[in-house]
């Protein structure tokens, strides 16, 4: 028995000398197996990231979800605000389940409310870099096929640069303000404020699976136009 223990110790010692990160590697492999099992379970039950979020809303509604500058938003806040955003989009008549909506925003909580809103109504989002202008902005928007654009108030001038082309392509444009006097552009915040915060019917996203498009992002090399990259729901 002692001989076996000594042999095992020598073998283990040899492994550790040859592979100094042996235990870390084992932990990594085990964690990957755990993740794979979790993903398979999610695929079998069609458990989406939104389902996880809504579960957390139920179990920890008052826990901080995000901190932004001097503001704190809880899980419940995020749920209610995204419900209002989703209903405002649906009530506009230009967005329906399965559509793609372009988001042209800087870093702000509204970005999350809108993204969650799109998920709740079974839509995918096109995430536009807020530094895009003119032809590059149009190129990315056209690649996605989005017929609705929601832009931050700070980016109104950038939208105006391409507004004639957007209107020609029958793209509905919303700006995150309470009032907008620009012809062809609608305000969104007032519509969102007036919308109900009641939960959205799950049937709106009944067609969504882990293999459904989640968002479109853009990347490029050192030359040429930006390339559209599709991220599926399973990636989240």
Phi-psi region of 133 (alpha: psi -120 to 50; beta: other; left: phi over 0): beta
Would you state the pLDDT for residue 183? Answer: 96
User: Residue 72 forms beta bridges with which residues?
Assistant: 67
Q: Alpha-carbon distance 26 to 223, whole Å?
A: 42
Please provide the distance, in angstroms rounded to a whole number, between the alpha carbons at the two ends of the chain: 50
pLDDT of residue 36: 80
**Of residues 23, 44, 26, the one with CA closest to residue 34:** 26
**Neighbour count for residue 143 (Cβ, 10 Å):** 15
Q: Global pTM?
A: 0.83
Strand order in the sheet with 124-127: 185-187, 172-175, 148-151, 100-104, 124-127, 213-219, 227-232
CB 112 within 8 A of CB 125: no
> How much is the pLDDT for 225?
66
- Strands 64-68 and 71-74 come out as antiparallel
Q: Which CATH number fits domain 49-235: 1.10.3720.10, 3.40.50.1820, 3.40.50.12780, 3.40.50.970?
A: 3.40.50.12780
Per-residue model confidence as pLDDT tens for the chain (236 residues): 666 665 666 566 665 666 666 668 778 888 888 878 876 776 678 888 899 999 999 999 999 999 999 999 999 999 999 999 999 999 999 999 889 999 999 999 999 999 999 999 999 999 999 999 999 999 999 998 999 999 999 999 999 999 999 999 999 999 999 999 999 999 999 999 999 999 999 999 999 987 888 888 887 655 566 666 655 555 55
For residue 113, what pLDDT is reported? 98
pLDDT given at position 25:
76
- Report how far apart, in Å, the C-alpha atoms of 102 and of each of 13, 77, 169 are: 57, 23, 14
Domain boundaries, the chain: 49-235
Model pLDDT, residue 47? 86
């Amino acid at each position: 028995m002692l001989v076996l223990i000594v042999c095992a110790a020598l073998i283990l010692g040899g492994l550790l000398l040859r592979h100094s990160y042996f235990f870390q590697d084992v932990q990594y492999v085990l964690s990957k197996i755990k993740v794979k099992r979790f993903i398979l379970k999610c695929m079998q039950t069609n458990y989406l990231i939104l389902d996880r979020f809504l579960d957390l809303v139920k179990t920890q509604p008052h826990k901080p979800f995000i901190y932004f500058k001097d503001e704190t938003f809880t899980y419940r806040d995020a749920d209610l605000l995204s419900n209002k955003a989703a209903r405002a989009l649906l009530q506009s008549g230009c967005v329906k389940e399965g559509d793609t909506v372009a988001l042209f925003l800087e870093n702000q909580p509204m970005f999350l409310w809108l993204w969650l809103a799109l998920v709740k109504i079974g839509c995918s989002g096109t995430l536009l870099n807020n530094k895009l202008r003119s032809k590059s902005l149009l190129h990315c928007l056209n690649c996605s096929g989005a017929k609705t654009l929601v832009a931050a108030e700070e980016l109104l001038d950038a939208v105006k640069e391409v507004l004639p082309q957007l209107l020609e392509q029958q793209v509905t444009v919303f700006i995150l303000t309470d009032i907008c006097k620009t012809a062809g552009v609608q305000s969104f915040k007032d519509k969102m404020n007036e919308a109900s915060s009641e939960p959205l019917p799950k049937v709106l996203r009944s067609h969504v699976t882990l293999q459904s498009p989640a968002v479109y992002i853009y990347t490029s090399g050192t030359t040429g136009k930006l390339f559209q990259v599709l991220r599926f729901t399973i990636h989240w």
